[in-house]
Amino acid sequence: MKEKINFICVGIQKSGTSTLHDILQQHPDIALPTYKETHFFRDSEKFDKGIDSYFNYFSNQTKPFLVEIDPEYAYFEECAKRIKNTLGTIKIIFILRNPVDRAYSHYLMTKGRGLEKLSFKEAILKEQNRLNTHYNKIHYSYISRGFYSEQIRRFETIFGEENIQIYFFEDLVNNTQKVIADILEFTKIPSFEFDFTIKSNVASQAKSKTLRDFIYKPNPIKKAIGKLIPIKSWKDKLAHTVASINKKPLKKEPLSPIEKREIYQQFYRKEITELEKKYNRNLSHWKYE
C-alpha cells in the first residue's frame, strides 16, 4: 500500500492549500480524499485505526496517483514520523505565506467558527498559555504556526531535502500555472490542462451562529446524532454539506500597518531572514520595518 501515495502537501495552513486541492482534483489520474484534510496523521484516534482506514478516505483508489493535502501535518510534531513510518519516503510539498498575514487569516477562521472570543491582540498575548491541549493547538496556534523553518527542518531530517519542495503563496496566486507544472514535474505526475479560474476557500462567516456552533462545538445533541450514523465518512459529508450551506462572505477589518509591524518585529524578523538566506528569496514584502 505504501507506494500508492505519490505526495502529501503538509502545509502551511491558510497558504492556498485549498486552491491547490481544487486544481489537482481536476486531474484524471489523481485521487484525493473525498474531503480535503483527513487529519489522519494528526489525530491519534484516526491514526490508530491503521493504514486501511486511511485509504478509505480516498474516493477512487484505482487511479495511479494518490495525493493528500492537509496543512495540519506541518505543525504537529508527530506527523512527519507517522507519515514516514506508514508510507515510507514520499515527496513532501510546503507552501509558505507571509506569517503575519497567515496568523490573522487563521484568527479570522477560528473567530468565524465561533471558537474565538478574544481580540486578535489579546489572543496573541495569551497564545502560549492557551496551547496546553491538542484542541487548543489546532485552533489557537496563530503565531506558533508561522515559524516555518523548524517545521521544514523536521521533514527534511526524516524525508531528506531532495524529497522536499518549497513554494510561496504569492507564486501560487500570481503564477499558478507555473507552480502547478513544477509540482507535477517534481512528483512525476503527467501534465494536464487545468482550469485555473476557480476560486477556493473564500473567507466566510456563518449565516446562522446557532447552526455554526452546532457544527463546530461539542454538544450532547450532536454526539447523540453521531451515534446514529455508523460510518465516519457519512458524518464528515453531512457536516461539510451543512457548513457549506451556512457560509456567507466575511466582512473583515484588515490589520493596520502598525499592528503588522508589531507582530513582525516581535515574532518573525529572524524567521523571515532565515528563510531568505536558505531559499535565496527576497521576502522584503513580508517585512514591516
- Write out the chain's pLDDT in tens, 289 residues: 445 899 999 999 999 999 999 999 999 999 999 888 999 999 999 999 999 999 999 978 889 999 999 999 999 999 999 999 999 999 999 999 999 999 999 999 999 999 999 999 999 999 999 999 999 999 999 999 999 999 999 999 999 999 999 999 999 999 999 999 999 999 999 999 999 987 766 555 555 556 545 555 566 765 666 666 665 555 566 665 665 566 555 567 899 999 999 999 999 999 999 999 999 999 999 999 8
pLDDT of residue 209: 54
Burial of 239 (0-12, 13-18, 19+ CB in 10 A): middle
Question: The cell 489572543 sits on which residue?
Answer: 123
Cα distances from 54 to residues 2, 61, 259, in angstroms, run 11, 11, 41
Q: Report pLDDT for 4.
A: 83
Q: Are 106 and 205 in contact (CB under 8 A)?
A: no
* Strand 247-249 versus strand 164-168 pairing type: unpaired
Taken in order of first residue, the domains within the chain and their CATH numbers are 2-98+146-199+268-286 (3.40.50.300), 204-249 (no CATH)
Which of 27, 28, 29, 24 is CA-nearest to residue 4? 29
The residues with which 68 forms a beta bridge, in sequence order, are: 8
Q: At residue 268, what is the residue type?
A: Y
In this predicted structure, what is the pLDDT of residue 1? Answer: 47
